[in-house]
Amino acid sequence: MKKQVKIEGLDCPNCARNLASEINKIDGVQNADINFVKSTLSFESDNIEKALEEIVSLTKELEPQAKIVDKQKEQRNKLFLICDISFLFLGIALGFILFFVKMPLALYWSLYVVSALLLGWKTYLKAIRLLFRRIINENLLITISVIGATFVSEHMEGLMVIALYSIGKIFESLAVNRSRKSIEQLARMQPEYANLLVGGEEVRVSPEEVSVGNKIVVKPGEKVPLDGKIVKGSASLNLQSLTGESVPVLKKKGDEILSGSIVLDGELVISVSSAYEDSTISKIMNLVENASENKSKTETFISKITRWYTLGVVVLAVLVWGIVWAVSRNFNDAIYRGLIFLVVSCPCAFAISVPLSYFSGLGNASKNGILIKGSNFLDACAGIDMVAFDKTGTLTTGEFKIEKITALKGKTEDEVLFLSAIGEKTSIHPLAKAIVSACQKRIPKAKEAKEIIGKGVAFEYKNKKYFVGRKSKELKNTAVELYENDVKVGQIDLVDTIKDSAVVACQSLKQIGVKTVLLSGDNQESVQSVAKNLGLDEAYSKLLPQDKFDFIEKAKAEKRHVGYVGDGINDAPSLTLANVGFSMGINGSPASIEASDVVLVDDNPSKIYTSIKISRFTRKIVWENIILSAIVKVVFLSLGAAGITGMLSAVFADVGVTVLAILNSIRALHYKAK
């Protein structure tokens, strides 16, 4: 069985990683993982209660300030923060007294020890407990630095090291919590109830209890709990949490409606079209919850290297001490420079800023109606230089409209449309629906109507035999012929409507140098028309699913980084093969959504541009943090080893670059692609 719980008070990414590693060593516990940014612990066990009891005990031992709970208790977290700040100020105050006031030696040492403990008791305790488990991290580096500074009589610098480190941890905690709260706003999209219509009465139930075909009522201010179609009423909807669109959208009878929308005015009666687990809001929550499991190469590399980084730093610090002592023959100075090396080398800036940057980028995309299934796919979006589109349902609406009616043999256009509608009235073909919808007259029932599979419908009307469908092989796929007593008397040409958002998508992608290609199974005339209207670079018609697959395979062999956009079952192989597969969230088939790496919640292809821009910005933030942290550390390591800077400068450098990296990471959460 799998269990997920909340873990509070854990504000160090390395600590989270080490704790998860130790939890995995408990008998009967498998696949334990701590999502640091979301403050959750997930694990598997055959005996959940026993495993959770042991996990709670281990957490209390290794991370005394952390606690596993079933619900978040913000008040208790605030109390912890107030205590930490109070201890910090008291410890700093005692340090100033020691620095400015002369006192007996015994009192001096007593106050010094109390000050050092107030400033860093958590750090020392963690270091000792983890050391017993053969885990070395930044807590040990700081503890050694404080002890070493005391040993070489640099008392004030020792106190400043732990004071600045603790201040940095508090700022780090505040910054992380800010990002967490921004991400957690997505969870508020989840509806708590549905007003189910039962015998004309409203019954408040859980969304999971509503079945497909049931009718629900949504009132002003309420969230739409399930996907469906409006059968009564009209209202303005707030779709910002789903699509990022800030302007309210008017929906009326007959319109599709997505779960997670907020009704601003009016009352709606909705016929439910999807069970809760298949609804848009459920898909969003599942993808957001699971996104952090698929990590980018950069994030994975940083995660792996920090496990050995601290041990390497300790070894190098000893080496620095040995070299300086061998050259200068000054034991205290050698230790002091080795301690500076330890302080500067703390890996916090790398360990927290990289995963936080990616999670902020994923959260930003989610707020814009783009569900990216992990930071590895977010990274992949940044490299896209070619986007291949399917046509129907992706660039076009899949809903046909009449382009031209050709009347022959003395018939009028109205007669051709009317007679065609009589035959098409019972057909479920998309072209038939468009013809019936366009006819403004009352359509009588045809006599002896018989559907001929793959060709059309034969019927009788006023003692004449008619056929509506396709007989001529040279006709385009979206043309319908009308025959009266085997004589062609008319033709209706239809066209698939191009999405307005498709025009924006193709123009935007060109602006950032991305090549656009259309891959379709439709006839050449239809495909070329769409390609010309959208200004696509290339277009290919009459393609089978295998042909699309081969095209992408060839493009990848030519070192192209391909994004493929589709919505059907036949698109699944191409979505899987592409570097990044984009599927439609509303009309996309379950197979295409499963095969894709990115889901566009509102079927808006212009969001591909937004995906690429957010991913490129996020990757830029990640490398800014890595490069900034590396440069600062190398500079201060060199200066410290040479004896040019002291420990105070070293700790300022370490804490400062960590806070800057965190604040820089949060920029990815608020970035807007123009």
The DSSP annotation for 275-297 comes to -GGGSHHHHHHHHHHHGGGS--H
What pLDDT was estimated at residue 296?
52
Does residue 94 belong to any structural domain of this protein? Answer: no
Distance CA 651, CA 343 (A): 6
Of the candidates 11, 33, 379, 390, the residue annotated as catalytic is 390
Q: How distant, in Å, are the alpha carbons of 153, 349, 380, 414 from that of 317?
A: 19, 19, 38, 90
Does residue 82 belong to any structural domain of this protein? Answer: no
Q: Are residues 419 and 481 in the same domain?
A: yes
Does residue 655 belong to any structural domain of this protein? Answer: yes
pLDDT tens digits for 522-562? 778 778 888 888 999 999 988 878 888 899 999 999 999 99
Q: Are residues 19 and 59 in the same domain?
A: yes
Number of domains in the chain: 5
What pLDDT was estimated at residue 185?
55
Q: Are residues 148 and 174 in the same domain?
A: yes
What pLDDT was estimated at residue 71?
46
CATH number, domain at 7? Answer: 3.30.70.100
| CA distance between the termini of the chain | 45
Q: Highest-confidence range of 6-10, 149-153, 446-450, 655-659, by mean pLDDT?
A: 446-450
Does residue 92 belong to any structural domain of this protein? Answer: no
Q: Are residues 503 and 392 in the same domain?
A: yes
pLDDT tens digits for 611-664? 999 999 999 999 998 898 888 878 887 887 777 777 777 777 777 787 788 888
Of 469, 497, 525, which closes a domain? 497
Q: Are residues 140 and 36 in the same domain?
A: no
For residue 188, the SS3 value is helix
The per-residue pLDDT of the chain, averaged, comes to: 80
User: Is 247 a residue whose pLDDT tops 70?
Assistant: no
Q: Are residues 339 and 382 in the same domain?
A: no
Q: Highest-confidence range of 2-6, 284-288, 489-493, by mean pLDDT?
A: 489-493
- Is residue 390 part of the annotated active site? The answer reads yes
Residue 284: pLDDT band with limits 50, 70, 90? low
User: Phi then psi for 296, rounded to 5 degrees?
Assistant: -75, 165
- Whole-structure pTM value: 0.66
CATH number, domain at 406? Answer: 3.40.1110.10
Helix, strand, coil: what percent of the chain each, to 5? 55, 20, 25
8 A C-beta contact, residue 40 and residue 7:
yes
Which strand (E) or helix (H) includes residue 44? strand 40-44
Q: Are residues 493 and 458 in the same domain?
A: yes
Q: Are residues 390 and 511 in the same domain?
A: yes
Question: How are beta strands 256-257 and 249-251 bridged, if at all?
Answer: unpaired
Q: Are residues 522 and 590 in the same domain?
A: yes
What pLDDT was estimated at residue 73?
45
Q: Are residues 180 and 299 in the same domain?
A: yes
CATH number, domain at 510? Answer: 3.40.50.1000
Read off the pLDDT of each residue in 251-262 and give the average, rounded to a whole number. Answer: 84
Q: Are residues 200 and 283 in the same domain?
A: yes
Does residue 83 belong to any structural domain of this protein? Answer: no
Its domain, for residue 325, covers 106-184+293-359+619-670
Taken in order 651, 657, 659, 662, the sign of the CA dihedral is negative
pLDDT tens digits for 291-313? 445 555 555 565 566 557 667 77
Does residue 80 belong to any structural domain of this protein? Answer: no
Residue 526 Cα to chain centre, angstroms: 36
User: Is 72 a residue whose pLDDT tops 50?
Assistant: no
Of 258, 288, 318, which closes a domain? 288
Of residues 167 and 109, more confidence is placed in 109
Does residue 89 belong to any structural domain of this protein? Answer: no
Does residue 236 belong to any structural domain of this protein? Answer: yes
Q: Are residues 506 and 600 in the same domain?
A: yes
pLDDT tens digits for 360-416? 888 788 878 888 887 888 889 999 999 999 887 788 877 788 888 999 988 898 888
The percent of residues above 70 in pLDDT, for the chain, comes to: 84
Of 54, 72, 90, which closes a domain? 72
